[in-house]
Homo-oligomer: A and B are copies of this chain.
Amino acid sequence: MRLAELSARSGVPTATIKFYLREGLLPPGERISATQAGYGEEHLHRLRLVRALIQVGRMPVATAREVLAAVDDPGLDQHSRLGIATWALPGPAPGPGPEEEDDAATRTARQEVGSLLEHLGWDQFGPGSPAYETLVRAVATLVRLGYPCEAGHLRRYAHIAAQVSEADLDLLESLPGEVEQVEASVALTVLFEPVLLSLRRLAQAEESARRFRG
């Protein structure tokens, strides 16, 4: 398959594919001659994954490169791979970098988050992990706006998150092959986020109608 056909089958412009090749998101095609290269089905699949991560998952190009490098890395067991994937994924609020906020709200948030995770016994990822920091930032913002979000309130959401992760892992384990599972751990983590959030919005509308109308 040539670049043009890869573009036609994926719907991605050739210029964009070249860009991804340059950025290392897509492995180079098999060299046919000095100025020609050929691509296979695996390139098509990877290209679709890249598009999904970037467009649906809103992942920055640089992050996608790191995540995909981890996916391709051999010699990692299932758990570390999922860990790497989860670690590298940017989450919903990457923020303007390590600006080390230390206001009252952030300190409160750290305390509530810490006590929540301690109570749940969730100690795989501690402070410093992206998910943890994102959580602290979000809770700090809620605190700053004056909304209740002590560990008690958060616990309810944590229990629900645990159910989601069970569904995630069930789905992951139902897939064949180990390589596929690694890729899937990334793809499913990212792509089920919009699914979950959209369903939440739809469910909110239903629940709101139930409570405020009929």
Contact = CB atoms under 8 A, between A and B. Distances in A.
A164 B162 CA distance: 12
A175 B146 CA distance: 11
B83 A208 contact: yes
Interface in A125-156: 125, 130-132, 134-135, 137-139, 141-142, 144-149, 153-154, 156
Given A187-B145, A189-B204, A194 B138 contact: yes
Interface in A141-199: 141-142, 144-149, 153-154, 156-158, 160-169, 171, 173-175, 184, 187-189, 191-199
A212 B166 contact: no
How many copies of this chain does the complex contain? 2
Interface of A: 11, 45, 48-49, 52, 55-58, 77-79, 82-83, 86, 89, 91-93, 95, 103, 117, 121-122, 124-125, 130-132, 134-135, 137-139, 141-142, 144-149, 153-154, 156-158, 160-169, 171, 173-175, 184, 187-189, 191-209, 211-213
